[in-house]
Amino acid sequence: MDAFASKPFEGNPAAVFVMDAYPPDRTMQLIAREMNLSETSFVVPEKGKPGHFRLRWLTPSTEVDLCGHATLAAAKAVFEAGLGSDPEGIVFHTRSGPLSVSLDSQNPALICLNFPSEPPSPSTSDSSLLFSSVRILWSQPQTHIDEKF
Protein backbone atom coordinates (compact mmCIF):
# COMPACT_ATOMS: atom_id res chain seq x y z
CA MET A 1 0.00 0.00 0.00
CA ASP A 2 1.12 3.55 -0.68
CA ALA A 3 0.08 5.83 2.19
CA PHE A 4 -0.39 9.56 1.61
CA ALA A 5 -0.89 9.02 -2.13
CA SER A 6 -3.79 8.80 -4.56
CA LYS A 7 -2.03 6.54 -7.07
CA PRO A 8 0.52 3.69 -7.04
CA PHE A 9 4.27 4.27 -6.71
CA GLU A 10 3.87 7.53 -4.82
CA GLY A 11 3.60 8.36 -1.14
CA ASN A 12 5.03 6.22 1.63
CA PRO A 13 4.92 2.44 1.00
CA ALA A 14 4.10 -0.19 3.61
CA ALA A 15 3.38 -3.89 3.21
CA VAL A 16 0.17 -5.09 4.85
CA PHE A 17 -0.73 -8.67 5.74
CA VAL A 18 -4.28 -9.36 6.95
CA MET A 19 -4.53 -12.88 8.38
CA ASP A 20 -6.61 -15.01 10.73
CA ALA A 21 -3.77 -15.46 13.24
CA TYR A 22 -0.22 -14.22 13.66
CA PRO A 23 2.54 -16.54 12.48
CA PRO A 24 5.51 -16.99 14.85
CA ASP A 25 7.45 -13.79 15.61
CA ARG A 26 10.51 -15.04 13.72
CA THR A 27 8.38 -15.66 10.60
CA MET A 28 6.91 -12.16 10.77
CA GLN A 29 10.41 -10.71 11.14
CA LEU A 30 11.63 -12.66 8.11
CA ILE A 31 8.60 -11.50 6.10
CA ALA A 32 9.32 -7.87 7.06
CA ARG A 33 12.95 -8.32 6.06
CA GLU A 34 11.89 -9.83 2.73
CA MET A 35 9.53 -6.90 2.08
CA ASN A 36 12.45 -4.55 2.86
CA LEU A 37 10.20 -1.55 3.51
CA SER A 38 10.42 0.81 6.47
CA GLU A 39 7.44 -1.01 8.04
CA THR A 40 5.33 -4.08 7.39
CA SER A 41 1.90 -4.26 9.08
CA PHE A 42 0.40 -7.48 10.37
CA VAL A 43 -3.37 -7.31 11.04
CA VAL A 44 -5.46 -9.97 12.80
CA PRO A 45 -9.22 -9.61 13.49
CA GLU A 46 -10.19 -9.86 17.17
CA LYS A 47 -12.40 -12.94 17.50
CA GLY A 48 -15.93 -12.07 18.60
CA LYS A 49 -15.32 -8.31 18.29
CA PRO A 50 -16.38 -7.03 14.86
CA GLY A 51 -14.43 -3.93 13.85
CA HIS A 52 -11.57 -4.68 16.27
CA PHE A 53 -8.15 -5.83 15.07
CA ARG A 54 -4.75 -6.52 16.53
CA LEU A 55 -2.00 -4.63 14.67
CA ARG A 56 1.77 -5.04 14.80
CA TRP A 57 4.45 -3.22 12.82
CA LEU A 58 7.84 -4.68 11.97
CA THR A 59 10.82 -3.10 10.25
CA PRO A 60 13.38 -5.31 8.49
CA SER A 61 15.21 -5.59 11.84
CA THR A 62 12.76 -5.08 14.76
CA GLU A 63 9.19 -4.53 15.95
CA VAL A 64 8.17 -0.91 16.59
CA ASP A 65 5.57 0.54 18.97
CA LEU A 66 3.83 2.90 16.56
CA CYS A 67 3.90 3.77 12.87
CA GLY A 68 1.59 6.31 11.23
CA HIS A 69 1.88 5.49 7.54
CA ALA A 70 1.74 1.72 8.14
CA THR A 71 -1.43 2.22 10.26
CA LEU A 72 -2.99 4.21 7.42
CA ALA A 73 -2.01 1.45 4.97
CA ALA A 74 -3.45 -1.23 7.29
CA ALA A 75 -6.72 0.69 7.63
CA LYS A 76 -6.99 1.05 3.86
CA ALA A 77 -6.44 -2.71 3.45
CA VAL A 78 -9.09 -3.52 6.09
CA PHE A 79 -11.66 -1.15 4.55
CA GLU A 80 -10.93 -2.33 0.99
CA ALA A 81 -11.35 -5.97 2.08
CA GLY A 82 -14.78 -5.11 3.53
CA LEU A 83 -13.71 -6.03 7.06
CA GLY A 84 -14.41 -2.58 8.49
CA SER A 85 -18.11 -2.14 7.85
CA ASP A 86 -19.05 -0.46 11.16
CA PRO A 87 -20.09 3.16 10.45
CA GLU A 88 -18.29 4.17 13.66
CA GLY A 89 -15.03 2.85 12.22
CA ILE A 90 -12.55 0.27 13.44
CA VAL A 91 -10.12 -0.05 16.33
CA PHE A 92 -6.56 -1.35 16.10
CA HIS A 93 -5.21 -2.77 19.37
CA THR A 94 -1.45 -2.14 19.44
CA ARG A 95 1.52 -1.97 21.80
CA SER A 96 0.82 1.77 21.97
CA GLY A 97 -2.81 1.25 22.98
CA PRO A 98 -6.04 1.38 20.97
CA LEU A 99 -6.01 3.41 17.75
CA SER A 100 -9.41 4.36 16.34
CA VAL A 101 -9.86 4.73 12.60
CA SER A 102 -12.88 5.93 10.64
CA LEU A 103 -13.83 7.07 7.18
CA ASP A 104 -14.50 10.80 6.79
CA SER A 105 -18.29 11.40 6.78
CA GLN A 106 -18.01 14.05 4.04
CA ASN A 107 -15.50 12.19 1.88
CA PRO A 108 -15.34 8.42 2.51
CA ALA A 109 -12.14 8.22 0.46
CA LEU A 110 -10.39 9.94 3.39
CA ILE A 111 -9.30 7.88 6.38
CA CYS A 112 -9.22 9.56 9.80
CA LEU A 113 -6.73 8.25 12.38
CA ASN A 114 -6.81 8.99 16.10
CA PHE A 115 -3.36 8.54 17.64
CA PRO A 116 -2.35 8.73 21.29
CA SER A 117 -0.75 11.95 22.40
CA GLU A 118 0.88 13.29 25.49
CA PRO A 119 0.59 16.95 26.42
CA PRO A 120 3.85 18.89 26.20
CA SER A 121 5.80 19.37 29.38
CA PRO A 122 8.85 21.44 30.25
CA SER A 123 12.16 19.73 29.71
CA THR A 124 14.47 19.28 32.64
CA SER A 125 17.45 18.40 30.47
CA ASP A 126 20.24 20.68 29.38
CA SER A 127 19.58 21.59 25.72
CA SER A 128 23.29 22.23 25.10
CA LEU A 129 23.92 18.54 25.78
CA LEU A 130 21.32 17.61 23.16
CA PHE A 131 22.85 19.88 20.53
CA SER A 132 26.38 18.63 21.21
CA SER A 133 25.10 15.03 20.85
CA VAL A 134 23.52 15.89 17.50
CA ARG A 135 26.79 17.45 16.28
CA ILE A 136 28.68 14.32 17.34
CA LEU A 137 26.22 12.04 15.53
CA TRP A 138 26.38 14.08 12.32
CA SER A 139 30.16 14.02 12.34
CA GLN A 140 30.44 10.22 12.78
CA PRO A 141 30.75 7.89 9.78
CA GLN A 142 27.71 5.71 9.09
CA THR A 143 27.84 2.17 10.46
CA HIS A 144 25.76 -0.89 9.64
CA ILE A 145 23.79 -2.84 12.21
CA ASP A 146 24.69 -6.51 12.44
CA GLU A 147 21.96 -8.88 11.32
CA LYS A 148 20.49 -10.91 14.15
CA PHE A 149 18.74 -13.55 11.99
Provide the residue-wise pLDDT of the chain in tens; the chain has 149 residues. Answer: 778 777 888 888 899 999 999 999 999 999 999 999 999 999 999 999 999 999 999 999 999 999 999 999 999 999 989 898 776 799 999 999 999 999 888 888 888 888 877 777 776 766 655 565 555 555 445 444 444 44
Please tell me which residue in 10, 34, 39, 63 is annotated as part of the active site. Answer: 39
Parse the chain into domains and list their residue ranges: 2-116
39 assigned to active site:
yes
- SS3 sequence of the chain: CEECCCCCCCCEECEEEECCCCCCHHHHHHHHHHHCCCCEEEEEECCCCCCEEEEEEECCCCEECCCHHHHHHHHHHHHHCCCCCCCCCEEEEECCEEEEEEECCCCCCCEEEECCCCCCCCCCCCHHHHHHHHHHHHHCCCCCCCCCC
Sign of torsion over alpha carbons 18, 99, 70, 83: positive
Q: What is d(CA 92, CA 101) in angstroms, rounded to the nearest whole number?
A: 8
pLDDT of residue 144: 47
2-116: CATH superfamily: Diaminopimelate Epimerase; Chain A, domain 1 (3.10.310.10)
